[in-house]
Structure 1
Amino acid sequence: MEPTSDFDPARLARSLLRRSRQGALATLMPGTGDPYCSLVNLASHPDGSPILLISRLALHTKNILADGRVSLMLDERAEGDPLEGARVMLAGRAEEVTEAERELVRRRYLGAQPSAEVFVDFKDFSFFVIRPSGAHLVAGFGRIVDLKPGQFLTDLGGATPLLEAEAGAVAHMNEDHREAMNLYATRLLGADGADWICTGCDPDGMDMQAGRNALRLDFPERVTDGTGLRKMLVRLAGEARAKG
């Protein structure tokens, strides 16, 4: 089925990836290959790939260690009939995070899932990132489309300076610019006023959260370093104030 002309499937898929905090994870049972589905909490890698923190005692982790092929269903959690909301199914492989990437992944996961602080360092828990091979997006009649990773993941090429500056930028926004965070949420994204915080920045945008509610603030242009990020956030704060 072809999407309608006013539909931007890549943007919607990216938004669902960034805003989702839970999903249905399907893994394969060793030996039989039978599907096994479980509910998992998640966060997003700077490129948008889902991050999982799972215990090696859990059946889904044992399945992944035997066969990394997985699928993950994410949805908007729309009110009313859930089938009327958008959802995306990712297919790919779950890979355990390397030691070199653990600090970044740990920080991003705890930003999105602060309650995990109490068990994140337990020896049986490990971080995994789902490396997507494709996605199937369903957003209503005439809005069903298959996507390739390059269409919904964020290109991190040339963005190493931004990734290095991200932790400091997130802390700075949350410590000194909570008013701006609320302006982004209410005046640029149409959300209700709340204690909005920043949970992550990447070349394409910023992730925000208040309790279990998450928002995605897309940047009008790509940023690749800390200076570019600061200028973009100042610009967007000005645009938000102008809407008052």
Structure 2
Amino acid sequence: MTNPIRPTDDDARALARSLIDAARFAALAVLDPATGDPMVTRIALVPGPDGVPLSLISTLSTHTGALAAHPACSLLIGEPGPKGDPLTHPRLTLQATATAADKSALRDHYLSHYPKAQLYYDFTDFQLTRFTPDRGFLNGGFGKAFHLTAPDFAT
């Protein structure tokens, strides 16, 4: 059987980078700390100044507790276009580590992407979370699958 994974090249890296840069939301997968079961939620997302995805997350949410207990997580980025088979549109799965980001230093950057977040950005129960990619899987459409490593995400 032929390996369906192509060698990672500059085009694959550029496509992954463009998906991260364009993403304004993602599906976040975490492990429930009480049960160990997987859990998925939708989060707002912006690329950080260094290209690493950021999200403003309420500390009251279940996924914040899950990330505190186990910071390894996964993000699914990329949405189907308005026409055609959804499986033909590119998507990127990031396996990442979640850490706290400097909320005050990144305020203007985050709000430049989500101006309406100004209503709640400064609430004390919100924290800015950074998702540093450890590795990823890029599906650029049928027959375009790539494994990515942390260096592949460097800007």
TM-score normalised by L of structure 2: 0.90
Contact 1:16 1:75 in 2 (8 A): yes
Partner residue of 2:120? 119
Structural mapping, 1:76-155, within 5 Å: 76-80=79-83, 81-97=85-101, 101-154=102-155
SS across alignment from 2:103: helix
Equivalents in 1 of 2:118, 2:73: separation in Å?
Answer: 26
Q: Distance in 1 between matches of 2:140 and 2:125?
A: 38
Identical-residue share of aligned pairs (%):
36
1:27 aligns with 2:25: no
Q: How many residues get paired?
A: 151
Secondary structure of residue in 2 paired with 1:57: coil
**Mapping for residues 172-191 of structure 1, pairs under 5 Å:** none
Please report the TM-score for the alignment, with normalisation by the length of structure 1: 0.58
Q: C-alpha deviations, 1:127-184, integer Å up to 9, x for none?
A: 0100110110001222101101211221xxxxxxxxxxxxxxxxxxxxxxxxxxxxxx
Gaps of 5+ in 2: none
Q: Give the C-alpha shift of residue 4 in structure 1.
A: 8.6
**1:1-244 aligned within 5 A:** 1-3=4-6, 8-80=11-83, 81-97=85-101, 101-154=102-155
In structure 2, the partner of 1:224 is none
Aligned equivalents of 2:58 and 2:7: distance in 1? 42
Question: Mean Cα displacement is larger for which, 102-111 or 54-63?
Answer: 102-111
Listed one character per residue, the Cα deviations across residues 80-110 of structure 1 (whole Å, up to 9, x for unaligned) are: 222211000000111012xxx4344222211
RMSD: 1.9
Determine the C-alpha separation between the residues in 2 that align with 1:102 and 1:122: 11
Of Structure 1 and Structure 2, the greater helix share is in 1
Partner Cα separation in structure 1 for residue 41 and residue 92 of structure 2: 16
- Are the aligned partners of 1:96 and 1:126 in contact in 2 as well (CA < 8 Å)? yes
Q: Which residue of 2 aligns with 1:174?
A: none
Q: Is the 8 A contact 1:16 1:76 kept in 2?
A: no
Higher relative contact order (CA 8 A, sep 6+): 2
Q: 1:72 is aligned with what amino acid?
A: L
- Structure 2 CA distance, aligned partners of 1:45 and 1:5? 24
CA-CA distance at 1:8 after TM superposition: 1.1
